[in-house]
Amino acid sequence: MNITNSATNLDAVFNDGQVASYRRLLRAMLEAGLTPVLYREYAAKRDMRSILLLRHDVDSDLDAAVNMAAIEFSMGIRSTYYLLPPGDYGRRSNYYGRIVLGKVWHSRKLLAAARQLVGYGHEVGLHNDFMQLSRITGRPVATLLREELAWFRSHGIPILGSASHGSEFAKKNSVVNYEIFKGCERRGQEVGRYVVDDARKTKLHNIDMNELGLSYEAYFLSRDFAYSDSSKQVTLAGPKGYKLNNITLSVDEEFQNITDVLKGFKGARCTALVHPNWWAFRQRNG
Ligand SMILES: [Zn+2]
């Protein structure tokens, strides 16, 4: 792997404006005095404070993700990338691989990208939509999860965590994907209920993360602030209902606002969920 070469090739997906605004966003968080740490590091040492947990759910654009990884690497920042097995968006194949005969076949591109991400010092995790994968393949969630973890680990890519994907399948079944795991419960929702779809029946809150060698689910780590572009707008939500809505990332003051808010909270633990495909799309389309 040649990190220098790929780090200079930042414009493969993002244009100059996108690279510049992404750097500014990261700087705004660093200027608040936060130290970027990997999710697995925080999961192992949960008393960390003044930290930035930068995370990327790679829903569809792996090239954008690798570009983002290179930008972060050039700034000395490490982050966590969650990769999504195929099956969502009505398709049986994606950047990760394809589903054939009830199994996931991995693309060559996936392994190259995962190695590159790890080479930059980033963490790789699973973006979890395993209930839908189970429905498509006709095989149990736990088996599929075990297979994916084994595949990455056999190629020297350690996986210690997962982050739930918000698929239409999950919404339709009134479930959040993290509910496959023991202890990952939702207020007001029955623990251990079943999700029934076609002939498949999946018992929730039934998989022990420890048994799979996983140490965390991204939504179940404590935080004070959450920056996110996952809804239709960019938000920074904080303690006691505090929320910065409709953040416009083309305005200088907005970056300063982010810094000021984070700086004003002693020892802030801030998660930042940035979707690579959203970022690539955003400025191209205004
Ligand atoms: Zn997602």
Give the tens place of pLDDT for each residue, 95-149.
Answer: 999 999 999 999 999 999 999 999 999 999 999 999 999 999 999 999 999 999 9
Total domain count, the chain: 1
pTM: 0.93
Segment 168-183, tens digit of pLDDT: 999 999 999 999 999 9
Compute, in angstroms, the gap from residue 146 CA to the centroid of ligand 1.
20
Compute, in angstroms, the gap from residue 59 CA to the centroid of ligand 1.
5
Compute, in angstroms, the gap from residue 165 CA to the centroid of ligand 1.
4
Compute, in angstroms, the gap from residue 88 CA to the centroid of ligand 1.
10
Compute, in angstroms, the gap from residue 246 CA to the centroid of ligand 1.
20
Compute, in angstroms, the gap from residue 111 CA to the centroid of ligand 1.
20
> What kind and span of H or E run contains 203?
strand 200-203
Q: Is 283 exposed, middle or buried (0-12, 13-18, 19+ CB in 10 A)?
A: middle
Mean pLDDT of 250-266: 91
Compute, in angstroms, the gap from residue 266 CA to the centroid of ligand 1.
31
What's the chain's Rg over C-alpha atoms? Answer: 19
Query: Domain limits at 22?
Result: 3-284
CATH number of the domain to which 178 belongs: 3.20.20
